[in-house]
Amino acid sequence: MQHSVPDLSDKSLLKNQTYINGKWVNAKSGKTFEVYDPASGKLIGTMPEMDKEDTQEAIKAAAAALPELKKTTARQRSKWLRKWYDLMMENAEDLAKLITWENGKPIADAKGEVNYAANFFEWFSEEAPRAYGDTILPSIPGNRVFTIKEPIGVAGLITPWNFPAAMITRKIGPALAAGCTVVAKSPGETPFTAAALAELAHRAGIPPGVVNIVTSLENTAEVGETITSSEIVKKVSFTGSTRVGKLLMKQSSDTLKKLSFELGGNAPFIVFDDADMDTAVNGAIASKFRSSGQTCVCANRIYVQKGIYDSFAKALTEKVNSFKVGGGYSEGVTHGPLIHDRAVSKVDAHVQDAIQQGGKVLTGGQKLPDLGSNFYQPTVIRDMTPSMDLAHEETFGPVAGLFPFDTEAEVVKQANDSEVGLAGYFFSKDLARCYRVAEALEVGMVGVNTGLISDPAAPFGGVKQSGFGREGSKYGIDEYMTIKMVTMGGL
């Protein structure tokens, strides 16, 4: 098998070992797993296939580093995060190349991700010194009451492949700011970006045992079980599918861990008759087709009011026809491959189901075998109905299904007819409607007249079966802290 190698200016960012207790290590068993470039299908390299024993070792290292970390000032932790941020920005080109290489997204998108990811370190370097407690007026005369926010302890972090850098920094940033040590299980599909981030943590001077990365592909369930059942790990933060989230919640129940889950979505995207057409079309392009539709906040069900349905469908199709699909490094490529051929099969199944039930393909609708086994045409389908698979399952691919609707009440009901509630979007110039619909949507995040909502300064998270807990923002750090109340009597 031929290796595909990105041209990194700092080759030492490319690892074939992982980082535990401040050292680069192999799996104790000596086993490795292979990672493939989703665009070319070529072997990228190998990483340690870790198991229960390796994971326990990482947890032990995190536990041993915790007492010293707890003694550090918030200002010190802030400086480490700031240094880590600076190093990410200095190495942004190389990090972006790694992301494109293992995830497939076009290099411009990968650069955007590096910036977004690094911003979590910057944001939480600023939040660390502001994790204040309260002074409380007591109900009992003579008492004094106050609270202290304390780090919860060792945190287990499990993240997906669709944002190989940002999903990790969004968790490690607040954990380290709070004073927690971490054991992060990097995604089997994209472990190289995580390893490069660990190298930069090392260069930033973060002490051994504070950041530990466990790698696995085949043994992922075993690694997950070791983290969730550990008495030492006090917190698990997971981003991934609702199915795996439910499993991890069950596994965590015996040790009653604090949990935060960022799970799957099925975002409604509503375009009202009074919307600005260009804004709505551009919003749909950004929200639906970014990362080839593989983001948890991607528009999945696009509802368009009947008065503008035909013109919106035409304008969206024209834009989609201007996309260039290919390998993420190639000049002019706007959209890359999906992560693996199982993703392509799921996307195609949703398209075929829509066609069988009367949906009309306006563009796309086919696999792209000439480019490779992981490519699918950006697709627009009209005349969608609520009985189609795409209406109630996350497609996680480049398919825009357009559902017609008549009234606001009808579309809000349809939008909320979902077990999950992560993001929702709508487009309208009517201010009263903007408040009304933003309040009516059963989701954790609403985009009004925009398709892009991710911002380290804003709380990210869902409701219903999209999970609970918030990442980023002033709330993000609380997920890694406990509130201790102190009452002093007899004063």
- Residue numbers at the binding site for ligand NAD (CB under 6 A): 158-162, 187-188, 220-221, 224, 239-241, 244, 247, 262-265, 296, 394, 396, 422, 462
Specify the residue, 266 or 305, whose C-beta has the smaller distance to ligand NAD: 266
Provide the phi-psi class of 86: left if phi over 0, else alpha when psi is between -120 and 50, else beta: alpha
Category of 425 on φ-ψ map: left (φ > 0), alpha (ψ -120 to 50) or beta: beta
Q: Round to whole Å and give the CA distance between 400 and 351.
A: 10
* Shortest Cβ 228–ligand NAD spacing (Å): 8
- Which position has the token pair 């219903």? 464
Q: Which is nearer to ligand NAD, 162 or 292 (CB)?
A: 162
Our CB check for ligand NAD shows the closer of 244 and 280 to be 244
Please, what is the minimum distance in Å from the beta carbon of residue 473 to ligand NAD? 13
Pairing of strands 360-363, 463-464: unpaired
Do the beta carbons of residue 204 and residue 87 sit within 8 Å? yes
Residue 49 and residue 261: Cα distance in Å, rounded? Answer: 25
262: annotated active-site residue: yes
Q: Provide CB contacts within 8 A for 71, sequence distance 6+.
A: none
Nearer to ligand NAD, 269 or 396 (CB): 396
Count of CB atoms situated within 10 Å of the CB of 463:
15
Q: Which residues contact 76 (CB under 8 A, 6 or more apart)?
A: none
DSSP 8-state assignment for residue 256: T
Nearer to ligand NAD (CB atom), residue 241 or residue 385: 241
Q: What is the dihedral of CA 109, 115, 117, 121, to 10 degrees?
A: 180
446 and 428 in contact (C-beta within 8 Å)? no
Structure tokens at 137: 């007026």
CA terminus-to-terminus distance, the chain: 75
* CA 487 to each of CA 35, 179, 490: distance values in angstroms, whole numbers, following the listed order: 54, 24, 10
Parallel, antiparallel or unpaired: strands 144-151 and 135-136: antiparallel
- The minimum distance between CB 310 and ligand NAD, in angstroms, equals 31
Nearer CB in complex with ligand NAD: 187/424: 187
In the bound complex, what is the minimum distance in angstroms from residue 267's beta carbon to ligand NAD? 10
The total of other beta-carbon atoms located within 10 Å of residue 484's CB is: 11
Cα gap 418→478, rounded to integer Å: 29
Q: How far is the CB of 164 from ligand NAD (least distance, A)?
A: 10
Shortest reach from residue 251's CB to ligand NAD, in Å: 8
**Of residues 317, 33, 78, the one with CA closest to residue 190:** 33
d(CA 277, CA 316): 10
Q: What letters, b where the CB count within 10 A reaches 16 and e where it falls short, cover 179-218?
A: bbbbbbbbbbbbbbbbbbbbbbbbebebbbbbbbbbbbbe
Q: How far is the CB of 31 from ligand NAD (least distance, A)?
A: 16
Pairing outcome for strands 144-151 and 481-488: antiparallel
Strand ranges for 90-208 from DSSP E? 135-136, 144-151, 154-158, 182-185
Using alpha carbons only, how large is the chain's radius of gyration in Å? 23
Smallest distance, ligand NAD to C-beta of residue 190, A: 9
**DSSP classification of residue 471:** B
Query: Which of 262, 408, 471, 479 is the catalytic position?
Result: 262
Q: Shortest gap between Cβ of 159 and ligand NAD (angstroms)? A: 6
State which residue has the least CB distance to ligand NAD: 224
Residue of 71, 59, 481 lying closest to 232 (CA atoms): 59
Active site residues: 262
